Amino acid sequence: MDDQTAAGAGGPEALPEPARADPIAGELVTETFEYDGGRQVTVYVPPDPPEAVVFAGDGQRISKWGGYLEAADVPSTMIVGVHGLADETLRLEEYSPVFDAERFAAHERFFVEDVGRWARSRSGVALAAERTAVFGVSAGGELALALGLRHPDVYGAVFCGSPGAGYKPTGVMLSSVPLMVAWAFGR
């Protein structure tokens, strides 16, 4: 039973819907890259110059985030979403090095280097790691965790929800680790 059901639909304890600006003032841009036979990346470009950027796996799900950001009292934030694969096995192989290290390495290069370079050139924004984050939930959370720990020079923060248990950091911890925000869903 979720919190909404427990409180009763519309009851005084019901969870509020987040504020949303609709239609968005920013812009959604989707481009297809040659990687892996054609991979889409969707970017939410805010109406004001971005003060922060968040890179996310499963980017096909970011389209409504722009409205939430515009309605919230937060710094102008660009979201770069790399679309995930529909095939769950192949998605896991891209998102965690324990399943297929070679496939993960190729996706890591694409995500960190190619998409990062494209986002900087497309938006004209090159933010320091302190203003750049990587985000994901479930297998995407595992990807965010892996990329954030492997590239602290790129991502100054990791937002990771309910990651799987496949990613294990190297035995030697880095001297600089990004800010980590993790949460788990469950009963």
Domain chopping of the chain, boundaries? 20-167+175-183
CA gap 129, 82 in Å, rounded? 19
| DSSP designation for 49 | P
Name the more confident of 26 and 179.
26
| Residue-wise pLDDT tens digits, 51-89 | 999 999 998 888 788 888 888 888 999 999 999 999 999
CA torsion 54-181-153-119 (nearest 10°) is -10
pLDDT score of 62: 82
Instruction: Report residue 109 as tokens.
Output: 């290069």
For the cut 80, the answer to whether the pLDDT of residue 21 exceeds it is no
Q: Identify the pLDDT of residue 6.
A: 38
Phi (first) and psi of residue 109, to 5 degrees: -60, -45
Residue, of 2 and 40, whose pLDDT is higher: 40
Closest C-alpha to 75, from 133, 34, 146, 158:
133
**Alpha-carbon distance 170 to 79, whole Å?**
28
Kindly state the tokens that stand for 48.
């004001």
User: For position 44, what pLDDT does the model report?
Assistant: 93
Are residues 22 and 67 in contact, defined by beta-carbon separation less than 8 angstroms?
Answer: yes
Q: What pLDDT digit, counting tens, does each position of 28-43 carry? A: 999 999 999 999 999 9
Name the CATH superfamily for 20-167+175-183: Alpha/Beta hydrolase fold, catalytic domain (3.40.50.1820)
Q: Please report the pLDDT score of residue 87 as a whole number.
A: 93
Q: Among 23-32, 113-122, 144-153, 176-185, which is the least confidently predicted range? A: 176-185
What is the per-residue pLDDT across 135-179, written as a single tens digit (0 to 9) for each? 988 888 889 988 998 899 999 999 887 666 555 555 555 555 555
Structure letter (DSSP) for residue 9: T
> Which residues have C-beta within 8 Å of that of residue 27, sequence separation ≥ 6?
44, 45
